[in-house]
């Protein structure tokens, strides 16, 4: 284990090198824990093709699900940013497909979220709206909202997230994200507060931000349920 100056550390696990925050409290809310590997004695055969393991047919553990496979069924090495691996790691065919889609989220959607979008924002039942730029913090833990005022929403305190859409037609019209409703608990409170956000100014950028946030929500809920 070795420390690096930006508050992160290199950790060597059985699966490979991982770059983790020095303080576990600062983990990304999208991150996943490493799985427990199925013990060797409990998997005499490949858990996909049922090939029996022997001196020639070796067993390999998928770094994402922890199950045992033969080399043919677990040959791909794919990036796994949600577990903070430095290099691509061995994964089974099912997990590698999931990880490839997540790599696209990390490469594209996260950049959209951290760049931000402009919205008309109102809190709870207030009729007053404020034009604010909403963006995801660089550590992925907060939504920052900036206008005449400033406030933050911690992703881990969001209870529900609903993306609103408009523009669907039977003749093939496109659907566009037009707003979002969040329910969250402010720091020090157990009472839910509701945040309403509607696209403003450059609606194309704001809609792209909402679409990326919709994908982020799926990863967020998966991380909570693991």
Phi and psi torsions of 131, nearest 5°: -75, 120
Q: What is the residue-averaged pLDDT of the chain?
A: 88
Residues 116-168+176-225, CATH architecture: Roll (2.30)
Tens of pLDDT along 105-159? Answer: 999 999 999 999 999 999 987 788 999 999 999 989 999 999 999 989 999 899 9
| Residue 189 exposure: Cα atoms within 13 Å on the Cβ side | 11
Tens of pLDDT along 160-198? Answer: 999 998 876 555 557 888 999 999 998 888 899 999 999
Interval 197-202 mean pLDDT: 88
Tens of pLDDT along 60-119? Answer: 999 999 999 999 999 999 999 999 999 999 999 999 999 999 998 999 999 999 999 999
**pLDDT at residue 170, rounded to an integer:** 56
List, in sequence order, every residue forming a beta bridge with 68; answer none if it has no partner: 61
pLDDT at 5 over 70: no
Q: Using CA atoms, how far apart are residues 64 and 101, in angstroms rounded to an integer?
A: 14
User: What are the sequence ranges of the domains in the chain?
Assistant: 8-112, 116-168+176-225
8-112: CATH, from 3.40.50.720, 1.10.238.10, 3.40.50.300, 3.30.40.10: 3.30.40.10
């Amino acid at each position: 284990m070795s420390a690096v100056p930006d508050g992160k550390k290199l950790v060597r696990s059985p699966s490979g090198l991982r770059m983790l925050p020095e303080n576990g409290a600062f983990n990304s809310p999208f991150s996943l824990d490493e799985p427990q590997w199925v013990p060797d004695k409990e998997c005499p055969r490949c858990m996909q093709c049922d090939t029996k393991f022997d001196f020639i047919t070796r067993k390999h553990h998928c770094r994402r699900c922890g199950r045992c496979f033969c080399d043919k069924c677990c040959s791909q090495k794919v990036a796994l940013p949600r577990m903070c691996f430095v290099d691509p790691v061995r994964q089974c065919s099912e997990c590698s497909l999931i990880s490839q889609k997540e790599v696209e989220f990390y490469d594209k959607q996260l950049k959209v979220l951290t760049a931000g979008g402009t919205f008309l924002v109102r809190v709870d039942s207030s009729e007053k709206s404020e034009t604010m730029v909403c963006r995801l913090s660089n550590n992925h833990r907060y939504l920052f909202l900036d206008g005449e005022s400033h406030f933050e929403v911690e992703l881990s305190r969001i209870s529900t997230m609903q993306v609103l859409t408009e523009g669907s037609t039977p003749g093939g019209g496109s659907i566009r994200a037009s707003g979002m409703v969040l329910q969250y608990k402010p720091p020090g409170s157990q009472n839910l507060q509701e945040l309403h956000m509607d696209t403003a100014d450059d609606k194309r950028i704001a809609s792209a931000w909402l679409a990326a946030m919709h994908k982020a929500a799926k990863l967020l809920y998966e991380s909570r349920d693991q």
